[in-house]
Amino acid sequence: MTDKREITLTVNGTERTVEAEPRKLLVHAIREDLDLTGTHIGCDTGNCGACTVLKDGEPIKSCLTFAVQADGSEIMTVEGMEDLPEASGELHPLQEGFREEHGLQCGYCTPGMIMSGKALLDENPDPEEGEIREAISGNLCRCTGYQNIVKSIEYAADELNKEPAAADGGTVTAEQRFADDDFDCGVENCCGGPSTETPHVEGADPQFDDVGGDDT
Amino acid sequence: MFPDEFEYERPETVDEAVDLLVDHPEAEILAGGHSLLPTMKSGLASPDLLVDIGHIDAMQGIDHADGTVSVGALTNYATVDDSPVMRENVTVFAETAHAVGDVQVRNRGTVGGNLAHADPASDLPAAALAADATMVLQGPDGERRVDADDFFLGMYATDVAEDELLTRIEFPARPEATGAYAKKPSPSSGYAMVGVAVSMTVDAGRVEDVGVAANGIMDHGVRLDPVEDALAGTNPDGETVATAATNAANDLDEMMMMDDLQASAEFRAQLLETYAERAITDAATGTGVVAAGPS
């Protein structure tokens, strides 16, 4: 085995070090060494974009990059989305968009789609449909036919463009909506909502149960 | 798909990189890795040593001085595509960079890696020819300059010696020229089954200067001299362009044309005329539109 090298990555805002052989791909370092399995391995040939992460703010395919090549860079994965200020501690508007607009079926491509969407909206907050399609042209989806993915990103753009109005009392984020409420569902790390008079009982209404297992 | 093991060196300067290549002529150079990694992952290549030049800052970026635009070999496609200096002065190269791969690929793949790899189905060789590029190579004995016309020798074969590094690509600045690239991409890979790059200067309704070159048709990028000759001095209207494009394959040996499952040589020769006409038309009208996708 060739000697391992110490690689420093700032992943979702936190500096991490990885000991890796030079041949280790960035996607393997992210998934296996850092245990961030939201980034998927799809085709493994650089075509499908399921492994898309942001490197220094730009979307790249982490299966076509050795981890050593990313040494010293800032990496953002889908796990970092909910920590962004726009997410208000919940789902990021892009993630919310994929839920609201049915932007996924099997969900395999979704982390990559979200990262490509994030890169687009960072650069172009109000994209035309054609620009969205161009931005996700390196991400393959075999379920949706792309229509709802485009709508999901449009949803996020609309939401993000609305948010500055919240300070003026225009649009209210979920966090603000529940801020005055001392609602607590009793679960450790309660998310703050949805508020209800009746205490939530696991299984009573499957809609509110933790479905789990979704990396997106 | 795990690549085989390899030793890894990461030089910080061009001189350090060249020293490594002198000591290890069998080494492969790693830049963006977007051609090398797929071959390593699929087992087609198992180099013992990779020299990662990705951290050599001197090979990054675009400079414009004294009528020459110099593009560092490590500059990625997206930077070229987005560069106002390139759009203004080397339009054909910027248009062609935009046609490569997808967003993620353009963020990582490098123009120097593309040209030095010399994939016959790649996009940039034709643009380098059409723009009259000069490749600047650094070796143990210093710098050497090679015209694009003398650079591409065959399939994955260029004039770069084992102990040399392509450090930058220089272009004559041509703010008056329009440029366009039209390609028929492979439906699966997006690589060019045929791609034609055109750089053209029209003065007082006459073609003053024109470069026309193609990828995908032969085992390396080729200049289409008969098309250039047919256009020179003409008024590039629709009929003239269509007639000029019929000359596209005149100097090309049909027996040596690319012929595979994706497209026969005969079909590629037909595509060549069609895409030559489209690229010249786009350049003549100054639209520079990339005709990508099935058509």
Each residue of B71-115: pLDDT tens digit? 999 999 999 999 999 999 999 999 999 999 999 999 999 999 999
pLDDT band at B188 (very low <50, low <70, confident <90, very high): confident
Domains B57-172 and B178-292 share a fold: no
Q: Predicted confidence band at A207 (pLDDT cuts at 50, 70, 90)?
A: very low
For residue A189, what pLDDT is reported? 55
Amino acid found at A148: N
What 3-state class would DSSP assign to B207? strand
Sequence-distant (6+) residues with CB within 8 A of A182 are: none
**Chain B residues touching A22 at Cβ < 8 A:** 6-8, 50
Report the percent of chain B where pLDDT is more than 70.
Answer: 97
To the nearest whole percent, how much of chain B has pLDDT over 90? 94
How buried is A174 (Cβ within 10 angstroms: 0-12 exposed, 13-18 middle, 19+ buried)?
Answer: middle
What pLDDT score does B189 carry? Answer: 87
* Span B229-283, pLDDT tens digits: 999 999 999 999 999 999 999 999 999 999 999 999 999 999 999 999 999 999 9
Q: Give the architecture-level CATH label for domain B7-52.
A: 2-Layer Sandwich (3.30)
Q: Which fold has domain B57-172?
A: 3.30.465
Select the highest-mean-pLDDT range: A1-5, A36-40, B283-287: A36-40
DSSP A3: P
A2, A49, A65 member nearest B5 (Cβ): A2
pLDDT at B293 over 90: no
Chain-chain contact of A46 with B37 (C-beta, under 8 angstroms): yes
pLDDT digits (tens, 9 = 90+) for A132-165: 999 999 999 999 999 999 999 999 999 999 855 5
Residue from the list A22, A47, A64 with its beta carbon closest to the beta carbon of B108: A64
All structural domains of chain A? 5-80 (3.10.20.30)
Cβ <8 Å between A61 and B105: yes
Contact at CB, A45 and B2, closer than 8 angstroms:
no
**How far, in Å, CA of A179 to CA of B128, rounded?**
60
Q: Is the pLDDT of residue A206 over 70?
A: no
Measured between CA atoms, the residue of chain B closest to residue A112 is B104
Query: C-alpha angle B226/B232/B236, rounded to 5°?
Result: 105
ipTM over 0.85: yes
pLDDT at site B5: 96
> Per the confidence metrics, is the pTM higher than 0.90?
no
Rounded mean pLDDT, A156-179: 63
Average pLDDT, chain A: 84
Cross-chain Cβ contact A61/B104 below 8 Å? yes
Pick from A21-25, A44-48, B117-121, B143-147: least confident? A44-48
Query: Please, are residues B278 and B182 in contact by the beta-carbon 8 Å criterion?
Result: yes
Report the CATH number of the B178-292 domain: 3.30.390.50
Residue B103 to residue A116, Cβ atoms within 8 A: yes
Q: Measured between alpha carbons, how far is residue B57 from residues B11, B40, B167, B250, B255 in Å?
A: 11, 25, 11, 43, 44
Does position A200 have pLDDT exceeding 80, yes or no? Answer: no
Q: Which residues of chain B neighbour A23 with C-beta distances below 8 Å?
A: 2-6
pLDDT of B153 above 50? yes
User: Domain residues of chain B, as ranges?
Assistant: 7-52, 57-172, 178-292
